[in-house]
């Protein structure tokens, strides 16, 4: 006889699994949007003010380096707790996926900024010098030279960030952020339901594989070298 009790149990948990997936994607989407909109320009600025670049400024470079390294030095769980007062101001609450997205965004911005800076450093210096020689402005060089030449690396950087922060979102779920991590703790750990723990881990593996596959394929298409 088929195990109808087990099947019914899985069917009862499916809505919660879909809800948890939606919460995780919400946290990840907000964090990645903040990383692109804020961390991208910050990474470009870090590159431009560094030694040997067109906007070289030692004091600005040190200040930005200090800021980025300070935020990145915080373990995410500590950053999550430290930003609770600010999270309440921004999101109106300290629990739920929207609240968890606030510290995720704070962590994502400097992380992505450093990855963008590294990608821009891989652009051949001769390409930038040729653009300068043709009279291109700094904005034109950034938009039409640096970002175009580094776009493949930036896509890969965003892929790495997405996968890293997928695990961060699971940590956020442990302290009330919701999502797949919260579901795994509530059912897989507190209730000793191994099947749910296996299901959540399998779901995370599938998401990671899809993100990595999509990011790698897009990066290869954008790489014209």
Mean pLDDT on 146-171: 88
At 66 the pLDDT is 93
**Local confidence band at 176 (pLDDT 50, 70, 90 cut-offs):** low
How do residues 13-32 score in pLDDT, each as one tens digit? 777 788 888 888 888 899 99
| Angstrom distance (rounded) from CA 182 to CA 84 | 18
pLDDT single digits (tens) 180-189: 777 777 776 6
pTM: 0.86
CB 35 within 8 A of CB 168: no
Question: Does 141 score more than 60 pLDDT?
Answer: yes
| pLDDT > 50? residue 1 | no
Q: Which of 164, 196, 195 is closest to 180 using CA atoms?
A: 196
To 10 degrees, what angle do helices 97-121 and 40-48 make?
A: 30
């Amino acid at each position: 006889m088929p195990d109808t009790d087990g099947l019914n149990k899985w069917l009862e948990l499916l809505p919660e699994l879909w809800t948890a997936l939606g919460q995780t994607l919400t946290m990840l989407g907000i964090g990645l949007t903040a990383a692109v909109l804020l961390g991208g320009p910050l990474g470009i600025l870090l590159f431009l003010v560094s030694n040997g670049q067109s906007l070289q400024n030692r004091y600005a470079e040190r200040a930005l380096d200090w800021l980025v390294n300070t935020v990145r030095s915080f373990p995410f769980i500590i950053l999550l707790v430290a930003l609770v007062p600010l999270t309440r101001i921004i999101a109106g609450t300290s629990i739920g996926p929207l609240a968890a997205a606030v510290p995720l965004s704070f962590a994502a911005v400097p992380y992505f900024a450093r990855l963008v800076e590294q990608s821009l450093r891989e652009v051949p210096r001769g390409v930038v010098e040729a653009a300068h020689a043709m009279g291109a402005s700094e904005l034109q060089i950034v938009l039409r030279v640096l970002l175009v030449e580094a776009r493949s690396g930036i896509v890969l950087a965003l892929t790495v960030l997405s996968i890293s922060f997928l695990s961060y979102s699971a940590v956020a779920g442990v302290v009330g952020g919701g999502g797949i991590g919260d579901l795994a703790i509530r059912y897989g750990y507190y209730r000793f339901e191994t099947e749910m723990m296996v299901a959540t881990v399998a779901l995370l593996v599938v998401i990671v594989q899809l993100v990595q596959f999509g990011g790698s394929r897009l990066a290869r298409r954008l790489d014209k070298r």
